[in-house]
Each structure stands twice: as C-alpha cells, then as structure tokens.
Structure 1
Amino acid sequence: MRGSGLRWISAAAVSTLVLTGCAGKEERAKAAGETAGAGWSAGVDTIKIGLIAPMTGPYAILGILQENSIRVEMERVNEAGGIGGAKLDLVIRDSALDPGKAVQATNELVGDSQVHFVVGPSLSAFYNASKNIFETNRKLNCQPGVGTGDFGSLKYGFRSQDPNNLSVEKLVEYLKAKGVTSVGLVYEADDTGKAMDGYFKEFGPKYGVEYKGYQETRNDDQSHRPYVDKLKDAGAIVVSSNASGAKTMAAAAEAGFKGVMAGTSGLQNVSFLDAAQDMAVGSVFAAGNVQFNIRDRATWKAGYRTHVEAIEKKYGVVEGPKSGAKMPKGTAIAGDCVTAFAKAAENAKSLDPDKLATAMEQLNIPDSETPSGNSIKPADHEFYHMEDIHIYQWDKDDDGWFVTDVTPES
C-alpha cells in the first residue's frame, strides 16, 4: 500500500488470505499463543494497539480494511489467552489523509503508556513525517501501507508491506523471462513515481531489460495517449496502481499497444478493475501472496485461508460495482502486524520496547502460519523479502475475474 500502490485503495491495503483447513484457526492460535499467560505476566489487564489510518474521506476503505484484519487477529490472540495474560484492545485515530493529523495522532499514541504497539500511519509521506516521533519515544510500530523508504536504519519501525524496490525487481525478472527486452514507466510526478523511476534504472541493466524512461503524469490529464505514444516501442509499460493507471491502460488500448501492461500490488484491487475494466485483461502485477482470486481454495496457504475466511464471515467482501470483481473486506498484511507483535512479546516475555524490538528482529514465522501467507523474517525490519513476491496475471471468463500465479522460477 508501500505512498505508491496504496493510493487507489492501497498496495498494501489489500492483500492476503490462507490455505487448507487442518492447519487452521485452532492450530494458529496455539502456535502464536501457546505460552500466553504461562510463565510470565504482562502486569496489566489490557494492552492497547493503536491504528492510525484514513477512516473518513475518499480513502476510508484503506483504514476500514486494516481495522478489520487487525480485529480478526486480535480476537484470535485474545481467544488464546492474550499476551502475558493481558487482552488486546484497539485504539483508532483517523488521519483523514492529512499529514498534520497523522503527526498529531502519532504524538498522542506514543504518549499513552498503555499503547505498546502502533500500526500506521499509512502512506509513505505520512510515515516519513511521523517516524522520528516513534524512534525518539521508543514506540514499536508496524507499517502495512508504506512502500518506499529505508526501514533498516530504524530501531522501532518495521514494514509489513512488499517494498516497491522488490516489486520492481520481480517485475523486471518476469519480463526478462518472457523475452521482453524493454520497459517504460507512466506514473504520477510524486515521490513514489520518482522512486519507481530509480528502481527501473537500477534493475533494468541488472536483468538486461532496456529502460525507456519515465513519463510523469498530471492529475488534470484528460488522456495519457501522449505518454503512451512516447513508449510505443517498449515491450512493456508499467502503470500507476490507481485510476491514473487505468487511464494509461485506456490510452494503450487506443494506441493499439501490443506489449505487456504491468504494475505493482495496487492492481489487485477491485477499484482498479472498476476503472480499467476489460483493459486489465492480461495485465500482470507484482505483490506478496494474494490468492483470493485464485479459485481453488485448496491451493491457498493455510494461515491466509483461515484469516480470509474469518474476514468473509465477519465483514464480508468488497465487490466492484462496475467490474463485479471481489476481494475480502480486510488486508491481511495489517493482520501480520498483530501476529508478529504477539509472537515477539511472548518470546521476549516483556513489553519493554527495546526487548520487543530485538524479539521482532529475531522472528522467523513460516508462511503457513501468517495471515498474509508470506513468511515473516524481519531481521532487517522488513517482514517480506524477494521470495515472498509473486507475479499475478488478471484474466476474465464467463464466471468473472480471476488471477493466475505466473511467477518465473528465479
């Protein structure tokens, strides 16, 4: 979601679900909470987790999806006995897509001694304005909606979204495997677009794929045809993850572009499909585990399926009014934040922020046990790594939209 893919509904913001039934809710609850309350006490009755996200306005869906997944995972932890005998409670602050409100909310939550962990604020610019507050006040935080920036330099900040640099590298690797020799980028003229431009400059030469350059779009563009025309000879065009990307696809269709249309994790969202509609058929996107639109649930990863089915039961699904495409009304990468915090606290047997940060760095949770279906190994403060990134292709038949995992073997 990770600035970038989150703008339309968020990269981060909508991911991730789980596999077959036997390694389901009971087993995961045991795995994450088997020592809850045994051998140590948190010393409190309640541990607050904070969420800072847009809960109102045009991007409220991002906050709602994050809240739903967080609540499902908190309920699982509480049913297993809590953390050191303490039950988890969620405290929400609305950033309303206002950096000032995000900073205000951060200051408020880090000043609350009962809040031991904060998820958000979503979007790279908002987190960049807030991260020093977390660091200065030694408050552990997890970011499922931040695609750019360096988390390796932080002590208390961890990212639970696939970083854009990994997504770009996986895309370029895929294009090389498909025999595509050149790629161009059409993206907003913002920090994310500039970062994406830098990643293609880095990874194009590494994989022998010529980079045709970056066409910077504007919010008031009526058409993206001029940008597409400048990249007409490229073998692939990478688009933005929001409505702007749909404009690029429309322009490519108008121009008769025959190459690959591609993007990052935001292309998984039904809002993107509503905007792009049939122009998205055959497009590919790089993302962490996103199996919801793979129809055979028996192939889903166990923790992901358990989480997604819990979301479906409690909150339902989001259905695109134009496309008819569906996604769960939750984003499992936010659930991963709770899973990691609970496991780290139990391993550390402490709520001390320094001990928690060290315990987080030492986690190694397999992909079968996480809400997202991605492994969690945040030694570098990144939950996910190159092996967790997939390439998915959108297609459509009489039964509607579906994805196929087309990830090349590295």
Structure 2
Amino acid sequence: MRGPGMRWVAAAAVGALVLSGCAGKEERAAESGQTGGGSGWNAGAGTVKVGLISPMTGAYSILGILQENSIRVEMDRINQAGGIGGAKLELVIRDSALDPGKAVQAANEMVGDSQVKMVVGPSLSAFYNASKGIYEQNRMLNCQPGVGTGDFSVLKYGFRSQDPNDIGVDKMMQYLKSKDIKSVGLVYEADDTGKAMDGYLKEYAPKYGITYMGYQQTRPDDQSHRPYIDKLKDAGAIMVSSNASGAKTMAAADEAKYKGLMAGTSGLQNVSFLDAAQDLAIGAVFAAGNLQFNIRDRATWKAGYRTHVEAIEKRFGLVEGPKSGAKMPKGTAIAADCVTAFAKAAETAKSLDPDKLAQAVAGLNIPDTETPSGNAIKPADHEFYHVDDIHIYRWDKDANGWFITDVTSKS
C-alpha cells in the first residue's frame, strides 16, 4: 500500500511573496546558459525540455515558486556539466492555479510537445490523479514532488520524489512506541488526504501496539477545534493537518490544556505552518525526509544537500515567515531530485525513449551524498523514499529563532 502531504504542501500561503510571470523561452534559455552546442550521444538534437506543472499563482503559489527555483538550480548544474548527452535542458512551466481543469489541460499540452521528455507535476494528489492517466497513455515520464497519496508502484511512467504520508505515519508510530505512547487520534480535514491518513493510522497504529482513537473531521467553517480535542483528550498523541487547520487544532489543544504530543507529517516543516501556529508548534514532532536547513551546524549537512541549498540561498534567497520569523530556503530539493534522476537515467540508457528512461530510473542507485535532497534515490518501486529514509524532527525555539532536533528513535 502506498500512500503524503508535499509532502510537503502547506495550505496557508506565505504572505508578501511576489514573483513576476514566467520567463519566455529565449529568456529562460539565456538564464540557463543554454547554447545548443556540446558533444555526446544526444548532441545536435536540440534542447531537451522538462515540464513543470504547479500552482504559480494564487494561495499555493509558494509551492510552484520553490519547485521552479530548485529545478532551475539543478538544470543549470547539469547544463554546465555538458547537459544530457550533449543537449541542454530547458524548463517549460504551466500554471495549474489550483484548478484541476488547468492541470489536465497542461498535462495534455506537455504530452503533445515532442521535445518534452519528463514532466514534474501537477502537484497535489487530486490534480495528479486527474492527470496520471494522460501520462500513462502517452508514455510520458513524470516525477512528483508534491503528491502525498496514491500507489505509484502500479504506474509505468510515474515516480514520486516526495516522502508519501503512509511511510511518515509508519515512522511516527515507531516513534510513539519508543516513547511508550499508547494511543493516538487524528484531527484533519474531510478530504482525500485526511481519509488516507485515517486509513494509514488504522493500519499502522495496531502494528505497534497503539490504540487508534479515531478521526475527527474538520470543516472549513469551524470557528474552533475544541470539540475535536475534547473527544481525543485522553489520546497520548494527536496527529494534525499541515496547514492553518492544523494550527487551529494546536490552538484548541493549548486552550484545553492537552498534555499529549502534537504530531504530523512532513508539511509541518513549512514556514507557512509555523506562521499559522507560531509558538504553539514548539515541541511538535513531524516525520520527514532529510531536512537539515534548521539544524544549525552546517558541517553535519550532507554534501549534495548543502551544495544545493547554498546555491538556492545565493540565487533566490530565503522565505521568512512574517509572523513567526522562521526561515527556509526559497527552493524544494525534492523537485530537483526529479531532474537529477532524469539526467542520470538518460545517461545510463543513452536514450530519451520513454520506456528505456522509465526502466533506467527504476534501476537507479544514487547515494545520498550526491542528491539535492540528501536522500538516496533507489526507486525500484517508483518511490524515492522508503520508511528507513524518514526521520522524526521536533520544532524548538530559542533566542536565536526556530530550529529542529532530529529525535528519530535509534532502535
């Protein structure tokens, strides 16, 4: 069973972020240093296009911006090293604008362009579910850094570079067991992700001897989540949504003087979540892949991750929450991992044929020191992440601001 949260997606927008419209083809080519020259098995074939479908406008635009930035940094690195078989990479962007119809339209445009050899997105599980059939029918390699649920093992051309929610729940249950926590509840929206989380907890909590106390479904018009907390007041831990709704749950828990642990999946890492929750997030734990930016000692960071993050900082800067003051790089390395995997697979296959590419991606074994995310890429099952790749992090704050501590159980 394969299940997040983009991974990591937060529903609350980060305020005061303004980005101009997407660059034109010529401007993007110049920005990436594309020349069309080079030598190699693909030299003279023209540019190789990689598509990105993501929300570039609206409340979720931060997701698209971060994905674009990381993809550009990784494409520049590859182009400076000679491209793919001597051909340069070019990024083509379509704005899904939180509209499933636009996401499907963009997917159809991408498969209709013979120069597009891989597509990243559309992000968000519902949008990908509406588009993945188009990719499968048209043999289009695609990589998903913002799709938390669903089974990628049944797809031929689809791969996921995000940590899916099911393994995050599995890892969190391991952690709760290590802390002798006997019960857990869920407060989450009544959407596809919430229903998937409910299913994962029903599966994994008993596996670790933990009683699952049920799923409290929130509503967009809820003034308070106190009634949900009151129903779960005896739970040793409560898992929450990774957006403003989760922050509302934390506020209700604080009001009720709830003494248990507040927990979540990888979306709790986001600045937008901390802006919504603020100091209520102190002590909250979340399951995520390699996440070292808020670990202050950079000497402990994995080499590829540090190189990528510092390139993002230099070129694009940081996102800073206007309310929390929390910071994160203005990029998301799991999107760059898609480009890393595509380039490695193409060089392995010496081909851009979609069947050969998909087979080559599935056979990759890229060590964690060589990837933008700091996570090894071994997607034989079409998943970049597996449960042993997941950490448990805890949010803390001191006079110097927010930081995280890796509290993953060693057993």
TM-score by length of 1: 0.92
Correspondence for 1:57: 58
8 Å Cα contact 2:7/2:163 also seen in 1: no
Distance 1:108 1:167, change over 3 A: same
Is the partner of 2:41 in helix, strand or coil? coil
Q: Could you tell me how far apart the structure 2 residues matched to 1:3 and 1:284 are?
A: 17
* SS of structure 1 residue aligned to 2:187: strand
Q: Secondary structure of 1:394's partner?
A: strand
Residue 99 (structure 2) aligns with: 98
1:216 is aligned to: 217
Aligned partner of 1:198 in structure 2 is 199
Q: Secondary structure at the match of 1:90?
A: strand
Q: Is the 8 A contact 1:228 1:248 kept in 2?
A: yes
Aligned to 1:114: 115
Q: Which digits, 9 at most, give the CA deviation of each residue in 1:2-36, with x for residues without a partner? A: 477414269xxxxxxxxxxxxxxxxxxxxxxxxx9
Describe the SS at the equivalent of 2:365: coil
**Superposed CA offset, 1:272-323 (max 9, x none):** 1111111100000001111100000001111100000000000000001111
Alignment of 1:204-353 (within 5 A): 204-353=205-354
CA gap of 1:195–1:3, structure 2 versus 1, over 3 A, is farther
Quick check: 1:41 aligned with 2:23? no
Amino acid at match of 1:148: T
Q: Distance in 2 between matches of 1:222 and 1:2?
A: 24
Pair 1:162 & 2:163 matched: yes
Q: Secondary structure at the match of 1:152?
A: helix
The CA deviation string for residues 111-161 of structure 1, in whole angstroms up to 9 with x for no partner, is 000000100000000000000000000000000000000000000000000
Alignment of 1:26-37 (within 5 A): none
Between the aligned partners of 2:53 and 2:8, the Cα distance in structure 1 is: 18
> Secondary structure at 1:391's aligned position in 2?
strand
Return closer, same or farther for 1:9/1:155 CA change in 2, 3 Å cut-off: farther
Q: Match for residue 387 of structure 1?
A: 388
Partner residue in 2 for 1:366: 367
Question: What is the identity, as a one-letter code, of the residue corresponding to 2:321?
Answer: G
Q: Is the 8 A contact 2:12 2:244 kept in 1?
A: no
Alignment of 1:6 onto 2:15? no
**Residue equivalent to 1:79:** 80
Unaligned residue ranges in structure 2 (runs of 5+): 14-36
Q: Distance in 2 between the 1:283 and 1:2 partners?
A: 17
The 8 Å contact of residues 286 and 392 in structure 2, kept in 1 or not, is answered as: yes
Structure 2: distance between partners of 1:46 and 1:335: 18
Question: How much has 1:43 moved relative to structure 2?
Answer: 4.8
Runs of 4+ residues deviating >6 angstroms = none
Seen in structure 2, the aligned counterparts of structure 1 residues 56 and 138 have a Cα distance that, compared at 3 Å, is same
Match of 1:28 in 2: none
CA contact (8 A) 2:67 2:336 kept: yes
Q: CA separation in 2, counterparts of 1:60 and 1:200?
A: 30
CA contact (8 A) 1:3 1:148 kept: no
Give, as a single letter, the amino acid of the residue that structure 2 aligns with 1:95.
S
Distance 1:127 1:42, change over 3 A: farther
What do the CA deviations read for 1:73-92 (whole angstroms, capped 9, x no partner)?
Answer: 00000000000100000000
Instruction: Count residues in correspondence.
Output: 385
Distance 2:251 2:322 in 1: 19
TM-aligned CA distance change 1:167 to 1:326, over 3 Å: same
Structure 1 position 387, deviation (Å): 1.4
TM-score by length of 2: 0.92
1:402 — aligned with what?
403
- Structure 1, unpaired ranges of 5+: 11-35
Who is 1:68 aligned against?
69
Secondary structure in structure 2 of the residue aligned to 1:187: strand
Say whether the 8 Å CA contact 1:9–1:266 is kept in structure 2.
no
Q: Give the equivalent residue in structure 1 for 2:24.
A: none
Q: Alpha-carbon deviation of 1:409?
A: 1.9
CA contact (8 A) 2:265 2:287 kept: yes
For 2:11, give the aligned amino acid: W
Structure 2 contact 8–162 (Cα < 8 Å) conserved: no
Deviations 1:80-108 (A, max 9, x none): 00001000000000000000000000000
Distance 1:182 1:352 in 2: 50
CA distance in 1: counterparts of 2:175 and 2:356, whole angstroms: 40
Amino acid at match of 1:392: Y
What amino acid does structure 1 have at the position aligned with 2:108?
N
How much has 1:40 moved relative to structure 2? Answer: 2.0
> Aligned in 2, Cα 1:5/1:69: closer, same or farther, shift over 3 Å?
closer
Query: Does the aligned pair in 1 maintain the 2:5–2:265 contact within 8 Å?
Result: no
Question: Percent of aligned pairs with the same residue?
Answer: 79
Change (3 A) 1:3 1:73: closer
Q: CA deviation at 1:202?
A: 0.4
How far, CA to CA, are the matches of 1:76 and 1:262 in structure 2? 37
Residue identity opposite 1:241 in structure 2: S
Distance 2:170 2:43 in 1: 42
